[in-house]
Structure 1
Amino acid sequence: MTRKTPTRPYHHGDLKRALLEASIELIREEGVDALTVAEVGRRVGVSSAAPYKHFADRQALLRALAEEGNRQLSEALVAAARGSTDPLEAFRLSGVAYIRWAAENPALYRIATDPTYIDYTSTEHDVDAPEVLKGSMETFWPELAALVRSGEAIPGSHPLVQQLRGRALAQGVASLFVSGVFASLGITTADAERLARAVTGEDVPTTSRRSHSTRAR
């Protein structure tokens, strides 16, 4: 098979950033299994040794991709909730953004949500959450873990349980896009926005669609 020319020839600047961007393109095109430090370096157009100055091995590159994926996902959630002052509405809007981002970035989403590469106990984030989302973005996982491990009663109305319910819904729908279940039913990435809005409680109006069966061949 003919090998591709470098995706983005590298001349100067931030090599680490260039390697991460090339990695994202590689996993989007060929999947996570195709990712290697050497292949990413080749795509960027640097010497075979250069990438290893930033990523000692494939695991280090995957951890960096997980961080980058979480940064991009967090930015999408913050952007979706920007301007909202109602925590419940902000949380719903961030759920829509979560599903849409996962559907559009399936390979990066898999890495960004894999506990092998990320620390769910951490409260440090590269993106500052607005006040209306701080509880759901910065401290949710550690607080939920502390509640469950304490053995205390967990009422269904507990704010952490309500957040977990919303997160489980968003992640479940996202996983159906990422796994290909929806694609097998003819539900495409373009449908992610509408479906996400519907499952998070919004009445979604009719939209025009071209029938695949009647499209000229």
Structure 2
Amino acid sequence: MSRSAGGYHHGNLQAALEDAALDLLETTSAAKISLREVARRAGVSHNAPYHHFGDRAALLGALGVRGMAALLAAQEEAVAGVDGTVARVRALGLAYVRYAASHPQAFSLVFDPDYCAADEPSAEMAPLIRRNEELLGGLVGELVREPGYEGRDPLALSAALWSTVHGMAQLIMLGHLPLEAAEPALQALVQ
């Protein structure tokens, strides 16, 4: 999620506005982000965001897509650098939790039904969700062929793993668990 530090000068205004909004999202909840503040941070007139986003919800939907893309990229990168199915499953979960801990507002926005509806994802969000599901599903498909995991229902195991890791991410984001607890917890969950 790279963002420019300066205001908008030339090029892609929509990306500049999204970058400014992502900067805000690092310290402010989605509920408190205004188009006026995004425009101010991007160095453009307060009406400029309306040319690219019909309203605040459209901007937040775009940020949800960028957040999901960043979450997916973090998971794909973590898995790519690890050998062994069990270790890759743990790396996937750890990347998920670390992204949530590093970008709690963006992570929350990815799952906010007001902006990123699971049952009717946007055209931009749908392929990211599908890739994320395929990543987890593919690894779990491999996992159920590993000793100690054979015979388990891959769909049920995928749901159990995702639910557990998502819950852990929420607990860490809310300060109920330290981030350092994630790795040993995932080790205990998937060995």
TM over 0.5, shorter chain = yes
For structure 1, which runs of at least 5 residues remain unmatched after alignment?
A: 1-6, 141-155, 204-217
Q: 2:59 aligns to what?
A: 61
Q: Residues 22-79 of structure 1, C-alpha deviation per residue, up to 9 Å, x if partnerless?
A: 1111122233232011110111111122111111111111111110100000000000
**C-alpha contact (below 8 Å) 2:28/2:105 kept by paired residues:** no
Distance 1:198 1:84 in 2: 17
Q: Which has the higher contact order (CA 8 A, sep 6+)?
A: 2
**C-alpha contact (below 8 Å) 2:64/2:110 kept by paired residues:** yes
Q: Residues 69-119 of structure 1, C-alpha deviation per residue, up to 9 Å, x if partnerless?
A: 000000000000004464443222110000011001011111011233224
Q: Which has the higher helix share?
A: 2
Distance 1:94 1:169 in 2: 13
**C-alpha contact (below 8 Å) 2:137/2:154 kept by paired residues:** no
Q: 1:26 aligns to what?
A: 24
**C-alpha contact (below 8 Å) 1:26/1:34 kept by paired residues:** no
TM-score scaled by length of structure 2 = 0.77
For structure 2, which runs of at least 5 residues remain unmatched after alignment?
A: 141-150
In our comparison, the structure showing a higher alpha carbon Rg is: 1
**C-alpha contact (below 8 Å) 1:77/1:94 kept by paired residues:** yes
Q: Residues 166-195 of structure 1, C-alpha deviation per residue, up to 9 Å, x if partnerless?
A: 11111011101222334xxxx3xxxx2x32
For 1:173, which of 164, 168, 171 is the aligned residue? 168
**Paired-residue identity, %:** 31
1:200 partnered with 2:183: no
Distance 2:115 2:181 in 1: 29
Distance 1:68 1:127 in 2: 15
Number of residue pairs the alignment of both structures matches = 169
What is the one-letter code of the residue matched to 2:184? A
